[in-house]
C-alpha cells in the first residue's frame, strides 16, 4: 500500500493537469508483481498519452528502485466498462446514460444531469413520464456509464 501511494504521488507530478489517476494497484507475489495504473482525462486519454506516462513512470521506478524484484507495468485508460470511482469522472460524464447500483441493492438507469460534492441527479424515463432522481454518493455502491451505439 505504501508503494501505491508513492507511485500515485509520482504520477501526479508526471501527468498533465487535464489528466488524473483513477487507480494504482500492485498485486502478485514479490518476484512477479503487476503494477496497474488506470488514468482518465477531462477530455479522455489517448494511447499515446498512456505510453508516454508509462515510459516516464518506468524510468522513475528504475531510478528510485521502489519495486525490488521483477514486475510488469500496465498503464491504461480506466475503460468504459470500469465503474466511476472519482468525482471528476462523474463530472466528465454529465449528459451520458448511466446505471447506478445502489448500496441497498436497487438500480436506477438514466441520463446523468448534474453532479455536486454530495449527490448526483439523473433523468429517469418511466414509460411516458420523465422524473429527476437525486442520489447521495453515500447511497451509491458504484456507477457505470452505459454505452449506446
pLDDT single digits (tens) 85-123: 999 999 999 999 999 999 999 999 999 999 999 999 999
Structural domain tally of the chain?
2
Residues 67 and 112 in one domain: no
Residues 53 and 91 in one domain: no
CA distance 70 to 40: 27
* Domain ranges, residue 106: 87-145
- Provide the Cα torsion 42, 48, 50, 51; round to 10°: -170
pLDDT single digits (tens) 20-63: 999 999 999 988 999 999 999 999 999 999 999 999 999 999 99
Evaluate whether residue 82 is within a structural domain.
Answer: no
CATH, residue 92: 2.30.30.100
Residues contacting residue 114 through CB under 8 Å, at least 6 positions apart: 94, 120, 121
- The percentage of residues in the chain with a pLDDT greater than 70, rounded to a whole number, is 99
pTM of the prediction? 0.84
Residues 54 and 103 in one domain: no
Evaluate whether residue 33 is within a structural domain.
Answer: yes
User: Is the separation of the CB atoms in 146 and 98 below 8 Å?
Assistant: yes
Amino acid at each position: 500500500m505504501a508503494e501505491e501511494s508513492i507511485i500515485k504521488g509520482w504520477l501526479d507530478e508526471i501527468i498533465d493537469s487535464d489528466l488524473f489517476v483513477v487507480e494504482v494497484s500492485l498485486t502478485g507475489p514479490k518476484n512477479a508483481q503487476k503494477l496497474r495504473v488506470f488514468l482518465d482525462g477531462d477530455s479522455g486519454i489517448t494511447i499515446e498519452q498512456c505510453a508516454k506516462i508509462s515510459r516516464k513512470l518506468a524510468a522513475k521506478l528504475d531510478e528510485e528502485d521502489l519495486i525490488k524484484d521483477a514486475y510488469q507495468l500496465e498503464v491504461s485508460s480506466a475503460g468504459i466498462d470500469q465503474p466511476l470511482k472519482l468525482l471528476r469522472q462523474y463530472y466528465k460524464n454529465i449528459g451520458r446514460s448511466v446505471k447506478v447500483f445502489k448500496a441497498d441493492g436497487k438500480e436506477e438507469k438514466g441520463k446523468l444531469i448534474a453532479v455536486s460534492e454530495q449527490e448526483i441527479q439523473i433523468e429517469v424515463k418511466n414509460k411516458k413520464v420523465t422524473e429527476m432522481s437525486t442520489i447521495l454518493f453515500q447511497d451509491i455502491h458504484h456507477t457505470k456509464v452505459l454505452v449506446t451505439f
